[in-house]
Structure 1
């Protein structure tokens, strides 16, 4: 039997978090509430933008990609983890399903960066070329940018996973709470230098592209604001860009932490915790940050609560 066809049917064991018997239910409740908040807040914002015609603007339509991505990211990881915690046992998964989960984990993580890049582009056009904004940011352009953001996040992950899938295995234990590329190629006892270097180069290229695009956009926006003495323009730039920048820095910080900890086996438990928090912290903070900082979204939420407080006569 071909070695690769055998491993397609192999059953892998996923190591969960090392949780004591007394902390099982508190941890389960905290993660469940976090997942519930992530889904309600992110999907709620998407529904809000879809239902409110006043929010049918390029800025908000492009932003819709982010809460959709956050909801999908949390769903790929957290439900399986919650099930494992409640069952108080290790999780077993087929190799094919593990590869699919790894693809979802990495492609959604990458798409978070590409989505924030196209959102930065939208802010650049709105602030630096306001007279051309409606001409440039048409509905067709919004769809095109959204498709580019998702596709460019998917293709590199296929290239990254391809060498990993071809490796032979000497163990069937995933040393992570969920499947990802580093955990998959660590199943092999072959020389993994090529996989590690390839993964590191790909991560660095993603970071470099992401940081360069965001930095260049903000430098151009800052140049326009400093050159123009219009206080209204400066206020608009600070308000819209600060929200975007906070979300981006949170994502970048969490991503860097997980990737760095993957290179140090001495901090395995800390890495496992960080690899879970990356699907809790950004995905739960993003809707809060945008909801509180964006005037239109905040006003729409306030109107909903005010309507509920009105008692019909």
Structure 2
């Protein structure tokens, strides 16, 4: 049994198996995607941070989204680009665990951030007279702190449970690391891990979908009761932007989960879906918010017209 668990600290990942003519297009696609993601999200971060008129609860909660949208792709892309460029499929176990941790943290934090944004919009539209009283700086900091601390704790527990188990394999059936593939390296009972993962997924989905459904129903009722057409239109536009981002995240997450459950799906399709789930939301989130949120759109346009910040 001692030899069984004496496995290498270097893991072998399943590569993309690219032909020589596809290496350059794949490298360019991955590199450009990562650069666009980082650039767009940095523009959104700088626009909010450097413009005092955007230091409102809605935008300060939104600030967590582009920060998180940089964390997820940064955990993924450098390793993917290295693999494409050097055709190296090896990775240190510690680096693999770190990559998986930040990818899962990115996914859970996105759900919590979008849920807190739905709560903010509910207070702003359904209780406008109490908004400034409720959404104080202290309350806002509590929301942001709860989002990040709860994410760290819940994902931390997931990986503490993983690391306590003995490992007897070193080959991953995936081009990058996540909790399910790391569990496949374990030679012990993973039922508690699977159960915790299932409860965590169900809990976050119930909280997120329940909160968003309730708040949006209340917002729709408030909008239809409002006699001010401009207020109604602005509220619906803000909610539509948030809903598009949430549905994009849910659809990509659902496709990834389904790809793991369907045995007949090709390995290439499963890898592609898994990578796209981390590429599309961070790529489109800043574009959606930049185009759909008037205040942010105007400040971004001002930024590019003047080329140099200050606002």
Judge conservation of contact 2:73–2:278 (CA < 8 Å) in 1. yes
Provide the aligned C-alpha RMSD in A: 2.2
My pick for the range that moved more, 186-195 or 243-252, is: 186-195
Q: What's 1:44 paired with? A: 43
Q: What's 2:75 paired with? A: 76
Q: What's 2:60 paired with? A: 61
- Mapped to 1, the partners of 2:62 and 2:84 lie a distance apart of 33
Q: Of 247, 258, 261, which residue of structure 1 is paired with 2:259?
A: 261
TM-score by structure 1 length? 0.91
Alignment of 1:48-127 (within 5 A): 48-93=47-92, 95-127=93-125
Deviations 1:234-266 (A, max 9, x none): 212111100000000000111111122122343
Judge conservation of contact 2:16–2:268 (CA < 8 Å) in 1. yes
Say if 1:3 and 1:136 are closer, same or farther in 2 by CA, change over 3 A: farther
Task: State the 1:194 CA deviation.
Answer: 4.5
Say if 1:18 and 1:144 are closer, same or farther in 2 by CA, change over 3 A: same
- Mapped to 2, the partners of 1:183 and 1:243 lie a distance apart of 34
Q: What's 1:244 paired with? A: 242
Task: State the 1:151 CA deviation.
Answer: 1.3
Q: What's 1:311 paired with? A: none
Task: State the 1:188 CA deviation.
Answer: 2.5
My pick for the range that moved more, 49-58 or 24-33, is: 49-58
My pick for the range that moved more, 180-189 or 29-38, is: 180-189
User: Secondary structure of the equivalent of 2:264?
Assistant: helix
My pick for the range that moved more, 156-165 or 208-217, is: 156-165
Match status 1:293 vs 2:295: no
Q: Structure 2: state its 5+ residue gaps.
A: none
Deviations 1:143-198 (A, max 9, x none): 21111111122222222223322333332012112211100111124454554344
Judge conservation of contact 2:82–2:88 (CA < 8 Å) in 1. no
- Mapped to 2, the partners of 1:242 and 1:103 lie a distance apart of 31
Judge conservation of contact 2:161–2:193 (CA < 8 Å) in 1. yes
Q: Structure 1: state its 5+ residue gaps.
A: 309-313
User: Secondary structure of the equivalent of 1:266?
Assistant: coil
Alignment of 1:1-313 (within 5 A): 10-93=9-92, 95-267=93-265, 268-307=267-306
How many positions carry a matched residue from both structures? Answer: 307
Say if 1:5 and 1:88 are closer, same or farther in 2 by CA, change over 3 A: closer
My pick for the range that moved more, 233-242 or 112-121, is: 233-242
